Structure 1
């Protein structure tokens, strides 16, 4: 496994910006969302709520008693002085992208390595597995909690039929 500074996606930079500004590893959800909307003026309150949910789903933070707690080390994240999130932040990600992001954050592995492992797993089974299932298998092998993805993958596979 490759540790140290990793390529950080936009969502991680957004979340890290708030926690770095507040200088704390834990924030009340409302304070986090307020910071995005009113301190940084990056988005509406509804969009800020969506960002907090996305951060939990991506395992960047975990929710505990109305607080968001960081699951990442802020020291490894460099945020440019003029950073501002793009509209791409709210673009709906595919299930595979969500799983890849989750693995990347959970085990601190480069996204390209994660994609390579998923492709290898998919090819190993002669492409008989749906790509989403290959991603779930890789996540499980890497020790990630994949419960949040089972229903999403199942629903996605049913749509293929």
Structure 2
């Protein structure tokens, strides 16, 4: 089963019969052709897709990092409002553990809970999640900085 973000990202490429689009054409397709979102939301989807490695930028063009040919976007598909909700740090770390750590979401939750319990609950779930990411070799760079600022009280 293809996740929602992947279906949204693939749609403009399938509609245009190509594996590369300009940023402008990609965002235009999402906001005006498909009428799924505002141009600002289309930019966020583009950024999310790049961060999730669904898209890459090559020579100023957005290029799909997957083969869209075998993927069918269901008739009447429309993204849910959840797609545009800003994820919290814990969700971002869990996504990282699943994507880069090769573990299931259930396993990620379990490992975070075990790590937090092993530290007698002295750290919050975000910090425990970062420790799990470190333990399995995932780079949580930007998220680490956010969590560090929050737990240390540094504004930034």
TM-score category (smaller protein): 0.7 to 0.9
Q: Is the 8 A contact 2:94 2:105 kept in 1?
A: yes
Separation in 1, partners of 2:102, 2:72: 15
Q: Alignment length, in residue pairs? A: 154
Q: Which has the larger radius of gyration?
A: 2
Q: TM-score, normalised by structure 2?
A: 0.74
Partner of 1:56: 50
Residue in structure 1 matching 2:74, options 80, 87, 107? 80
Partner of 1:122: 116
Deviation at 1:153, TM superposition (A): 1.3
Separation in 2, partners of 1:87, 1:30: 23
Separation in 1, partners of 2:70, 2:116: 31
Unaligned runs of 5+ in 2: none
Q: Is the 8 A contact 1:72 1:105 kept in 2?
A: no
Separation in 2, partners of 1:138, 1:26: 36
3-state SS of paired residue (1:68): strand
Deviation at 1:69, TM superposition (A): 4.2
Q: Is the 8 A contact 2:96 2:140 kept in 1?
A: no
Partner of 2:35: 41
Pairwise CA RMSD of aligned residues? 3.1
Query: What pairs up with 1:79-98 in 2 under 5 angstroms?
Result: 79-98=73-92
Q: TM-score, normalised by structure 1?
A: 0.73
Q: Are 1:28 and 2:19 an aligned pair? A: no
Q: Are 1:111 and 2:105 an aligned pair? A: yes
| Comparing 122-131 and 12-21, the one that deviates more | 12-21
Which has the higher relative contact order, 1 or 2, with Cα contacts under 8 A spaced 6 or more apart? 1
Separation in 1, partners of 2:36, 2:120: 45
Deviation at 1:37, TM superposition (A): 1.4
Unaligned runs of 5+ in 1: none
3-state SS of paired residue (2:133): helix
